[in-house]
Structure 1
Amino acid sequence: MLVSLVSIASLMLSTLLMMVGYGLMNYLVPVRSVAEGWTPFLISMTATGYTVGFTLSCLLTPKLVLRVGHIRVFGALLTLLTVSILASSLIVEWQAWIAFRAVAGFAVAGCYLVIESWLNERVTNDTRGSVFSIYMIVTLAGAIGGQYLVPLGDPNTTTLFIICGMVFAISILPTALSTAQSPAPIAQVQLGLGRLYSRSPVAFVGAILAGILSGTWASLGGVYTTGSGFSTAEGATLLAAVLAGGALGQIPIGRISDRTDRRYVMVACGAIGVVAALAMSLMSAATPYLLYGTAFIVGSMLYPIYALNVAHANDRADPSEYVMISSSLMVLYGLGTVAGPLIGGGAMEVFGPRGLTLYLAAGFLIYAGYAAWRIKRGNPTVSPEERADFHAIALPMRGTDPAGSIAVDYEEDAAASLDPPSEHRPAAE
């Protein structure tokens, strides 16, 4: 275990610094957007630029890694991230910010892919769980720490934007100066959306809904806190509560799902999410601690549902399909993050800040309802002995299966996606 940690120490330091900048950026940008007087829908347009870039990066970054290697791509992506936030401080127009946020989304997703591919090569099956738990703690601590930098400056000036850019730039150094061996190129895999749906329709639909929910909150959570009358420190605490809930909630939810039909856990998560989101819509900044606790519950349902989708899909797939399943789910998740902020921004236009929590409640309801409908169809279950292990995901605003690579090949084998399932797996959930 110690050997594994030493080999990734520089990568973890770069990740921590990058996530500090990420946390600062993701709170600073919406706060500045509100200060500029932009409507929630215009802010959601800039957020959609981010998610479009994020999704495109999932498809293109593996190609870049194959050409020039992990370290060069990682450095280039962090440079793009630095440029995007500095440019946002120079040109404060929502039309320009769509492009700047798209560059940021592309860079962030690419960095995630490089980091997790790197980690997968450096760990063994015996140390994988521990190393990825440390990785999740590092990402969570960095993101929360970055949010608490916002109260230290004025979002209406360029100071915080410059600090954010400096943090991103510094995060390149530990990896660039490391003497650790560069990982092998990412292996190419096929994207099989048809095969994924044949294996697990509930995971297919659930991945889209997970992207809609988490993408909307990540993009508009800062708008919600500002519009609800929170100070920047209170807003940072609320956003931190959601992230903390998302990280801590994965362990008990994962363990429960490993022992029962995961679809029942999906229904329960969706139902609890509905109640918690509706409760948030009835609260205000006058009861901050009660709201923090409720936000923690929302987060504990919001982020683990993607990992549930991955685990459930893997339950019904052959081991050779795990990487294809992970890649396909992430693309669907990315598509959800593109659509989510636009609809969520419209809801906030109509209902004000609480429109965001009402929107989340509706998303949770659809997630629970679809899983319940699949159960009602009476499809066969997978025994505990045949299930794949549940893996927690790193936060925030994304999800991948740490058990496999994330590379995607454009040439989908359409015929293969129609192959009958393996004899030891049910055809669908």
Structure 2
Amino acid sequence: MRRIWKSFRALYFATLLMLLGSGLLSTYLALRLAADKVDGLWVGALMAANYIGLVLGGKQGHRLIARVGHIRAYVACAGAVTAAVLGHGLIDWLPAWLFLRMLVGLGMMCQYMVIESWLNEQAAASQRGQVFAGYMTASYLGLILGQLVLVVHPTLGLELLMLVALCFALCLVPVAVTRKIHPAPLHPAPLEPRFFLQRVPQSLTTTLVSGLLIGAFYGLAPLYATRQGLSTEQVGLFMGACILAGLVVQWPLGWLSDRSDRAVLIRGCALLLTLIALPLAIMPSVALALLLPLGFLVCLLQFSLYPLAVAFSNDHVEGERRVSLTAMLLVTFGVGASIGPLLAGVLMKYFGANMLYAFFSFCALILVWRIRPDKVTHQHQVEDAPLHHIPMPDIASSPLVAALDPRVDEQVVQEQMQSAPEPQEPPVPEPDTPR
């Protein structure tokens, strides 16, 4: 692992800085709007705009990278994201913030695609699991550090926006100065929604609900904590503890997933989530001593759903379709994450802040109802199922994340990524000769 860290430390460091800035920006905007007594629906709309940008970036990123190359695309998007972050400090008009938030999401998706394709290009087949684990660890660590910044610096001034912009400006340095060869040209993976809806409907349902939960959490949990009377430092501590749960659960979850029926595991996690979120949904006011452990447990279960859905779906899809499957899962997650903050924001506006956890409990109850282990026919289950469980990040990934997944055949990935012809340079006209 030490050798892998040394080989990929520049890309891991760029990822950490990106997620540190992104995590801090999400919480800062929520706390800033809460301090200004802005309607909570706007907070949800901002997070929804971010995920809409991520979904749109999956398509636009391929075009930009094919047109100008990986490094130029990454540098351009890092510059655009930095400008969009600083724009939040220059403009107080909330509709403009929605556009800026969408621009941040779109630019970050392109950055994810560059980093993930580079990791895939440089990782040996035998190292993919470890390389991806390092990438996921850098992602979660960046998110956690972004929350802890608020503990150290609780003042909600423009200096925090400057720090976020600084992170996005610095994250382009390791990529811009690299001497490594450009990764292979990218080719968008087909979604095939009808095929996957028929083949893995329960996995897509789990992915959609996971998007609803995670989108609402990142967008509205800081607002919920503020309305519980927590100070800025305590909000940072609460958010950091919740995101830490997402990192802590991945390896025990993988051990359990490889030894249990994954449909039963998804339903069990959903049932526990329904019950554990109920106290926070019922109690209008919660002390920090109770909020921290309950919030940690809720997120422990929330962050389990998407990796389980990915593993469950891979068990029933052939290797040559797994890149397309990953693209379909991420789009489904993005759609849910775009809708979740809006729905939860409406509930919080009309019925109180505790409705955020009522929303979590209701969404989990949907999974308890819809996930039926007895309905899994195993008709299309692959021969070596259950496949090895791979921890998956819930927000820091692009459709290319499948290329790092050791469950996906490397040759299939390379064929799908290189099947598009390289962009042709326009012919240079010959100079006119005198007649």
Classify the secondary structure of the residue corresponding to 1:386.
coil
1:333-344 equivalences under 5 Å are 333-344=333-344
Q: Paired residue for 2:121?
A: 121
Report the Cα offset of residue 217 of structure 1: 0.6
Report the Cα offset of residue 396 of structure 1: 4.4
1:34-53 equivalences under 5 Å are 34-53=34-53
1:81-120 equivalences under 5 Å are 81-120=81-120
Classify the secondary structure of the residue corresponding to 1:303.
helix
Could you give the per-residue CA deviations for residues 342-396 of structure 1, whole angstroms, max 9, x where no partner exists? 1010111122211111101111111222113xx3436347588422222111254
Change (3 A) 1:230 1:285: farther
1:368-387 equivalences under 5 Å are 368-372=368-372, 375-377=373-375, 379-380=377-378, 382=381, 385-387=384-386
Q: Paired residue for 1:320?
A: 320
- Structure 1 stretch 389-398 or stretch 326-335: which is displaced more? 389-398
1:251-290 equivalences under 5 Å are 251-282=251-282, 287-290=287-290
**1:174 has 2:166 as partner:** no
What is the total number of aligned residue pairs between the two structures?
A: 408
Q: Paired residue for 2:389?
A: 390
Classify the secondary structure of the residue corresponding to 2:64.
helix
Supply the AA of the counterpart residue of 1:117. S
Could you tell me how far apart the structure 1 residues matched to 2:386 and 2:260 are?
10
Classify the secondary structure of the residue corresponding to 1:186.
coil
Change (3 A) 1:100 1:408: farther
Could you give the per-residue CA deviations for residues 231-254 of structure 1, whole angstroms, max 9, x where no partner exists? 111111111122111112122222
Q: Paired residue for 2:190?
A: 190
Could you tell me how far apart the structure 2 residues matched to 1:332 and 1:291 are?
30
Could you give the per-residue CA deviations for residues 132-190 of structure 1, whole angstroms, max 9, x where no partner exists? 22222211221111222234446543221112112211121122112223222224321
Q: Provide TM-score, normalisation by structure 2.
A: 0.87
Q: Which runs of 5+ in 2 are unaligned?
A: 421-435
Change (3 A) 1:35 1:371: same
Could you tell me how far apart the structure 2 residues matched to 1:192 and 1:147 are?
38
- Percent identity between matched residues is 26
Could you tell me how far apart the structure 2 residues matched to 1:127 and 1:408 are?
19
**1:227 has 2:195 as partner:** no
Asked whether the 8 Å contact 2:282–2:358 carries over to 1, the reply is no
Q: Which has the larger radius of gyration?
A: 2
Classify the secondary structure of the residue corresponding to 1:316.
coil
1:69-80 equivalences under 5 Å are 69-80=69-80
Could you give the per-residue CA deviations for residues 11-51 of structure 1, whole angstroms, max 9, x where no partner exists? 11111222221221111111111122211112222222112
Could you tell me how far apart the structure 2 residues matched to 1:270 and 1:383 are?
26
Report the Cα offset of residue 408 of structure 1: 9.7
Q: Which 4+ runs in 1 deviate beyond 6 A?
A: 405-409
Q: Paired residue for 2:423?
A: none
Could you tell me how far apart the structure 1 residues matched to 2:287 and 2:267 are?
29
Supply the AA of the counterpart residue of 2:388. D
Could you give the per-residue CA deviations for residues 198-225 of structure 1, whole angstroms, max 9, x where no partner exists? 2111012221111111111111111111
- The root-mean-square deviation of aligned C-alpha atoms, in Å, is 2.5
Change (3 A) 1:4 1:239: same
Could you tell me how far apart the structure 2 residues matched to 1:384 and 1:238 are?
43
Asked whether the 8 Å contact 2:344–2:355 carries over to 1, the reply is yes
Asked whether the 8 Å contact 2:186–2:417 carries over to 1, the reply is no
